[in-house]
Amino acid sequence: MDEAGPYQAIPQPGAHWQPVGQPARYPHEHVRHGTAKLLTLFHPATGQVRVKGVTSCPNVVLHAWLEAELAAIVDALPPANILAEADNRAAWEHW
């Protein structure tokens, strides 16, 4: 888990996002000053990243987001392989 930022919430120079041959539909007139943070949860083995942008990151925000993300990860896990009591005991004794 990491907290990136703070980022300035102002227009930054860069390439245009609209497709080639299609002009921008909305002018960029909304300028919001301030900062933003990016909460990230990265799984290095798969490269999967879970992110959320926030304007501030007190423990209330961080813990609620982290708890929700971890619950989603646990819910996506396959069901546990429950061994018979004798097999479980044998595995523990072997270990």
For residues 12-18, average pLDDT:
67
Q: Where are the domains of the chain?
A: 1-8+33-77
Whole-prediction pTM:
0.54
For residue 66, give both structure tokens.
């982290």
Instruction: Residue 12: count other Cβ atoms within 10 Å of its Cβ.
Output: 7
Kindly report the backbone phi and psi dihedral angles of residue 36, in degrees, each rounded to the nearest multiple of 5, phi listed first: -140, 155
3-class DSSP string for 10-67: CCCCCCCCCCCCCCCCCCCCCCCCCEEEEEEEEECCCCEEEEEEECCCCHHHHHHHHH
Residues shown for the chain: 95
Strand 48-54 and strand 2-8: the pairing is: unpaired
Give pLDDT tens digits for 60-85: 999 999 999 999 999 999 998 899 99
Give percent above pLDDT 90 in the chain. 45
Which segment of 17-26, 51-60, 61-70 scores lowest on mean pLDDT? 17-26
